[in-house]
Structure 1
C-alpha cells in the first residue's frame, strides 16, 4: 500500500500516462516466495490494450525474474517524475510564525499488475523496434534495428525475454505543496525557479499548476 493523502492523489489517466511516457525507466518490484525482486526496466505503455493499458518491456534472459512470473506473481512498476528539495525559507509564513520544516516534493506513478513473460521472436522484434523508434526519435540520425546485421539481432533477441504487464490499477501521487497556503506555494515556485536547474524548474511548473484555481 502507498501512503496517499487525498490532496496528493492524482487520478487523471492522461496525466499518469504522460509521466510514464516522459520517465519510462521504472523500478519494477515483483513479489516471489516471500522476497521482493527489484529491477530497473524501461517500459512502453500501450494505453489501448486492456482496461487500464498494458506495459511492455524486456529483461536479460540471464535475469531470473522472468522465471518467477509463471506463478501469477503480483508486481508494481514505479515511475518517478519530477522531484526536488523544498526549503522552509521559501515560505512567507516562516517569517511570521516560524512553524516550517524542510520537505521533498515529487510526482510518481505506480502501475500494479500481474506480469507475463514471452520469448516469441516476432513479438520480441516488434517490441525492440518500438522501443528503438520511441527513444531514437530525438536523434539527428535515428538508429534503427535494421542498421545492425540480421544474425547479430537474432543473437540479441535470443538473449532477452519480453515482459508484459496488463495494468490492473494505477496510483498517482503528486506531492507538490498542495498542503501549504497559496502564499507558501508561490514561495516554493519562486525558490525553485531561482535555482534554475531542469529538475527544479520541472517541479516549479507542477507546483504552479496545482496552485491555479
Structure 2
C-alpha cells in the first residue's frame, strides 16, 4: 500500500480505526501459491498488539497458515468520492478540469498467526467477539459440542500500516471547500469522510 507522508496514520489513529471497523480481509500468502487465500471476517482487536477471531474448520486459510504463519489483516472504509469540480474553487478556472479522487481510510496489520484448538480458548475468543454485539446470547461454552467445527485464531501484530487519504496534500482553503461540499451532499460515507478530514486538518465545512 502506497502511503504518502501526508496520508500516514499514527499507530494510535490506525488502531482506533480498526477498533471501530471490526470487519476486514484476512490474507494468508502460504508458500508457493499462485494467489493468496483471502477471507472476509469479523474480528476483535484485544489490545494494541493482538487480534482474535474464529473461522470454520473447512476454511482454506488454515492450510495457508500452516505453510506460513505470516498474514495481513486489511481493513478499509469511510470512503467518499470527491468530484473533480470540488477540487477547483470558484474563480480558479473550469470546474470540469478538476481531478477527481476518492477519500478513504485503510489499515493493514502485519501479523503472526497462531491457531487455537483448545475448547476453553475458543470459548474465550467467542466471548470477546459477541461481548459488544449481542448481550442476549448464552455463554459460548454452552455450545462446546459444536467447537470441533471451528478453529480460533490469534494474531500478534508486528507492524501497523495506516493510510488516511483525506486531502492532506491540499492547502487549508481547498480542504475547507471539499469539507463544505461533503456536508452539503451528505451521501453514504460522506459524514465519516468529513469527520476524518476535520480531525486530521482542523477544517470546518461552514
TM-score (norm. length: structure 1): 0.85
Asked if 1:30 is matched to 2:15, the reply is no
Match of 2:81 in 1: 85
Report the Cα distance in structure 2 between the residues aligned to 1:145 and 1:166, rounded to whole angstroms: 28
For each residue in 1:110-162, what CA deviation from the matched residue of structure 2 results, as whole angstroms up to 9, or x when unmatched? 100121211110000111011111222xxxxx32233x893xx1233221111
For each residue in 1:176-213, what CA deviation from the matched residue of structure 2 results, as whole angstroms up to 9, or x when unmatched? 01112222111111111112235201101111122228
Match of 1:139 in 2: none
Task: Name which of structure 1's ranges 26-35 and 100-109 shifts more when overlaid on structure 2.
Answer: 26-35
Asked if 1:155 is matched to 2:145, the reply is yes
Match of 1:4 in 2: 3
Structure with higher helix content: 1
For each residue in 1:69-88, what CA deviation from the matched residue of structure 2 results, as whole angstroms up to 9, or x when unmatched? 22333211111131110012
For each residue in 1:44-68, what CA deviation from the matched residue of structure 2 results, as whole angstroms up to 9, or x when unmatched? 1121xxxx50111011001121132
How has the CA–CA distance of structure 1 residues 149 and 14 changed in structure 2, closer, same or farther, with 3 Å as cutoff?
closer
Report the Cα distance in structure 1 between the residues aligned to 2:65 and 2:58, rounded to whole angstroms: 14
Unaligned segments of structure 1, at least 5 residues? 137-141
Report the Cα distance in structure 2 between the residues aligned to 1:149 and 1:37, rounded to whole angstroms: 30
Equivalent position to 1:174, from 164, 175, 183:
164
Q: Is the 8 Å Cα contact of residues 87 and 99 (structure 2) preserved in structure 1?
A: no
Match of 2:93 in 1: 97
Equivalent position to 2:66, from 53, 66, 70:
70
Q: Is the 8 Å Cα contact of residues 176 and 206 (structure 1) preserved in structure 2?
A: yes
Report the Cα distance in structure 2 between the residues aligned to 1:79 and 1:28, rounded to whole angstroms: 9
How many residue pairs get aligned? The number is 199
Q: Is the 8 Å Cα contact of residues 19 and 81 (structure 1) preserved in structure 2?
A: no
Report the Cα distance in structure 2 between the residues aligned to 1:128 and 1:14, rounded to whole angstroms: 25
Unaligned segments of structure 2, at least 5 residues? none
